[in-house]
Chains A and B, each alone.
Chain A
Amino acid sequence: MNALVIDDSTAMRLILRGILQDLGFEVSVASDGLEGFEMLPQLAAKLNVILVDWNMPNMDGYAFLRQVRKDKAYRKIPVLMVTSESDIKKIQKAFAVGASEYLMKPFTAEALREKLELVGVLG
């Protein structure tokens, strides 16, 4: 299984990568939405899930998600937003543009596993 993690925090990329590897994923990382989007042509065919932060330089997670959902080649890839935004309006906004699930920071490894189950990439 393959996952792409997009987060501008090095620490967060490490944490997410660690948990995902424990769950059996091969993990690619990008440090903002633009970099992540540019990696998609190479990765998309084998990608099972994308985890994306909201607030990042260059292209934020919201803009990234909109791009992904507009593109026929990427539209079906489950995208999990992993962010410290916990405003109800923000969460609704993310779903309105096609987020598959939404996880608020801080979170535990079990919480991430359960979200991956919910989007159907685990269990």
Chain B
Amino acid sequence: MSLAPPNNSVTKMEFDFIRQFILERSGIALDANRMYLVESRLGPLARRRQLNGISEVVARLRAQRSGDLALAVVEAMTTNETSFFRDVHPFESLRTTLFPEIIQQKGRVDLWCAACSTGQEPYSIAMVASESFPQLLSQKKLKILATDLSTEVLEKARSGRYSQLEVNRGLPAQLLVKYFKRQGRDWHISDRLKDAIEFQQTNLLTVRVAQKMDIIFLRNVLIYFKEDNKRRVLTNIRQALRPGGYLFLGGAETILGLDAAFETVRIGRTLCYRLK
């Protein structure tokens, strides 16, 4: 028996539909040249759901714009790329400057990782604390709130299990052997680090965090938003930060011209923003 494989290339009309759909649902604006991304992400999704290629995914979304398939498409299309100690310097600045400063001021640190993806970022922060300020962990004086839109990445983040390819990336091997156990081909992170982190599903466009944070990591997620949604996200973020608190963005991101409530601060080799 021979089955013709479903066609996984995407037409211009289908791509435009997906783009608009993702924009409405997540606020993320896909570049016009991201057709390959739609193909590489939604092709496998169609196969898993035994749909006849991307065309059928699109047809079903047109018929029903919410529900299970809609959620899966949004999740598949929002990029989750991350690594341990991504860009190194933001984590250095916690160690050299911000953790000491905040510990001295109030004896504890409240930090929010606002788009934590599969968890490498909050775990890296917990490792910085454990290495340089062990009392933060042993006395439970560090609370990391780690959130993301995607339930799939959060599930992985919570599990604390990483493949060899993932632990190879950005993670000093001395920390690997100290904080991970190998099980089969996977590496499992220690419960001690997990205990400092609370994972939660949230949408940055609508989130309200009651607590006032000392530090917020909002890295490599603003790039996906258009101007008006960027403002919305930044408003939500600002409300969760205490005066004098610090905001970190990704290397290619800036809030210049978007929000005058922040001033730029240079710490070592990284730039961050302080709420006035």
B-binding residues in A (CB < 8 A): 86-88, 91-92, 95, 99, 101-104, 106-108, 110-111, 114-115, 117-118, 123
Are B176 and A91 touching (Cβ within 8 A)? Answer: yes
Are B174 and A95 touching (Cβ within 8 A)? Answer: yes
Give CA–CA (A87, B165) in the complex, Å: 15
Contact among A107, A111, A118 for B172, CB-based, below 8 A: A118
Distance from B241 Cβ to chain A, minimum over Cβ atoms (Å): 28
Are B169 and A104 touching (Cβ within 8 A)? Answer: no
Distance from B19 Cβ to chain A, minimum over Cβ atoms (Å): 27
A108 to B, closest residue via Cβ: B165
Please indicate the chain B residues that have their CB under 8 angstroms from the CB of A111 in the complex.
165, 168-170
Contact among B88, B165, B176 for A106, CB-based, below 8 A: B165
Contact among A92, A115, A118 for B177, CB-based, below 8 A: A92
A111 to B, closest residue via Cβ: B168
Please indicate the chain B residues that have their CB under 8 angstroms from the CB of A86 in the complex.
164, 182
B269 to A, closest residue via Cβ: A123
Are B83 and A114 touching (Cβ within 8 A)? Answer: yes
Instruction: Flag whether B103 is at the interface (Cβ < 8 A).
Output: no
Contact among B88, B165, B174, B177 for A123, CB-based, below 8 A: B88
Are B165 and A88 touching (Cβ within 8 A)? Answer: no
Instruction: Flag whether B173 is at the interface (Cβ < 8 A).
Output: yes
